[in-house]
C-alpha cells in the first residue's frame, strides 16, 4: 500500500526539522540561517497546503490548496539546492529530500 500524500508531506517536514543543521541555527551565518529557515518554512507550508487540500469540501478551496502545494514543491526544490550549496545538507539528505519532494510532486500533478 502506498503512503498517503499527507503522510509524505509530514515525513518531509519532520525529516527537515530533525536535521542536525536545523537544530543548530544559532551557530550559522545569516545566509545559512535564511537558507535553513526557507527550507523549514517551505516544508511546513507544503504540509499545511496538502492537509488543507484533503480537509476541504469546497472545490475552490481544494483548487487553491492544490495550486499552492504545486508551487511550494517547486520552491522546496530551490531551497534544497540552496541549502546544499551552503553545505547545510549532505548528499544523502539532498537525495532523500529530493526524492520525497519528487514523489509529492508526481502525486499532485
User: The domain at 5-108 falls in which architecture?
Assistant: Up-down Bundle (1.20)
Report yes or no: 38 and 80 within 8 Å, Cβ to Cβ.
Answer: no
The predicted pLDDT at position 76 comes to 96
Helices (H), ranges, 3-90 = 5-17, 30-55, 59-85
Closest by CA to 103, choosing from 35, 58, 95, is 95
**Average pLDDT of each block of 10 consecutive residues along the chain (109 residues)?**
84 93 87 96 95 91 93 96 95 95 90
Cβ pair 67, 56 in contact under 8 A: no
Residue 47 confidence (pLDDT)? 95
Q: What is the pLDDT of residue 2?
A: 64
Q: For the chain, which residues make up each domain, given as ranges?
A: 5-108
Amino acid at each position: 500500500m502506498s503512503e498517503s500524500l499527507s503522510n509524505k508531506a509530514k515525513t518531509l517536514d519532520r525529516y527537515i526539522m530533525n536535521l542536525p543543521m536545523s537544530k543548530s541555527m544559532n551557530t550559522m551565518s545569516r545566509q545559512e540561517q535564511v537558507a535553513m529557515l526557507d527550507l523549514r518554512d517551505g516544508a511546513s507550508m507544503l504540509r499545511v497546503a496538502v492537509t488543507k487540500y484533503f480537509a476541504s469540501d469546497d472545490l475552490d478551496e481544494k483548487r487553491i490548496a492544490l495550486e499552492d502545494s504545486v508551487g511550494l514543491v517547486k520552491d522546496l526544490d530551490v531551497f534544497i539546492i540552496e541549502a546544499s550549496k551552503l553545505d547545510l545538507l549532505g548528499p544523502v539528505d539532498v537525495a532523500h529530500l529530493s526524492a520525497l519532494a519528487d514523489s509529492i510532486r508526481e502525486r499532485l500533478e
